[in-house]
Amino acid sequence: MATRIDPTLLYEIKEYGAVGIEKCFNCGNCTAICPLTSDEYPFPRNMIRRLQIGQRDKLVQHLDPWLCYYCGECSETCPKGAEPGETMMAMRRWLTAQYDWTGLSGKVYKGKGWIIAMLLVAAIVVIGLAALLAGPMVTSQVELNTFAPVHMIHIADLILAAALGIFLLSNLARMYFFVFGKEERQGIPLKIYLTGAWTLVFHTITQNRFSECEDSKRRWTNHLIIVAGYGTMFALIVVFLGWFQTDNIYPIYHPQRWLGYLAAGALIYGGVEAVLGRIRKEHEMHKHSHPSDWLFPILLVLLSASGLTIHFLRYAGLPMATYYAYVAHLVIMMMLYVTVGPMGKWAHLLFRPFAVYFQEVKAKAAQLQRETPAEAVASAAD
Partner 1 sequence: MENIQVDALVVGGGIAGMQAALDLADQGCQVALVEKEPSIGGKMIALSKVFPTLDCCSCITTPKMSAVAHHENIQLYTYCEVQSLAQNGTGYISKVLQKPRYVIEDACTGCRQCEYECPITVPNAFDSNLGGIRAIRVPFSTAVPQIAVLDMETCLFCGICEKACPADAIDYSQTAEEFEIEAAAVLLSTGFEITPPDAKKEYGAGELHNVIDGLIMERLLAPTGPYGRILRPGDGKEPESIAYVQCAGSRDETLGVEYCSRVCCMYAIKQAMLISGSLPLADITIYYMDIRAFGKGYEQFFQNAKAMGVEFIKAKVASIKQDENQNPVLRVELMEEGSRVEERTHDMVVLSVGLLPAYNPQAVYGVPVEDDGFVDIPAPNASPCNTNRPGIFVTGTAAGPMDIVDSIVMAGAAAAEAVAYIHEQEPAGSVPVPAYAD
Tell me the window of 70-78, 144-152, 253-261, 321-329 that interacts with partner 1 (CB under 8 A): 70-78
Q: Residues 218 to 257: which contact partner 1 by CB under 8 A?
A: none
Q: Which is nearer to partner 1, 73 or 143 (CB)?
A: 73
Query: Is 53 one of the binding residues for partner 1 (CB under 8 A)?
Result: no
A 10 A CB-CB count for 198 gives: 11
The interface with partner 1 within residues 12-31 (CB under 8 A) comprises 25-31
Q: Which 164-183 residues touch partner 1, going by CB under 8 A?
A: none
Among 1, 2, 7, 39, binds partner 1 (CB under 8 A): 39
Q: Under the criterion CB under 8 A, does residue 81 sit at the interface with partner 1?
A: yes
CA distance 210 to 296: 19
Phi/psi zone of residue 17: left (φ > 0), alpha (ψ -120 to 50 degrees), beta?
A: left
Considering only 34-42, 124-132, 209-217, 301-309, which stretch makes contact with partner 1 by CB under 8 A? 34-42
214 touches partner 1 (CB under 8 A): no
Query: Toward partner 1, which CB reaches closer, 28 or 317?
Result: 28
Nearer of residues 80 and 174 to partner 1, judged by Cβ: 80
Among 78, 227, 237, 266, binds partner 1 (CB under 8 A): 78
- Give the closest residue to 321 by CA, choosing from 147, 156, 201, 203: 147
Total residues binding partner 1 (CB under 8 A): 22
Residue 76 Cβ, how far from partner 1 at the closest point, in Å? 7
Q: Which is nearer to partner 1, 77 or 186 (CB)?
A: 77
76 interacts with partner 1 by CB under 8 A: yes
Amino acid symbol at 356: V
Q: Does 80 bind partner 1 (CB under 8 A)?
A: yes
* From candidates 16, 21, 37, 209, binder to partner 1 by CB under 8 A: 37
Chain residues that interact with partner 1, rule: CB under 8 A:
25-34, 37-39, 42, 45-46, 76-81
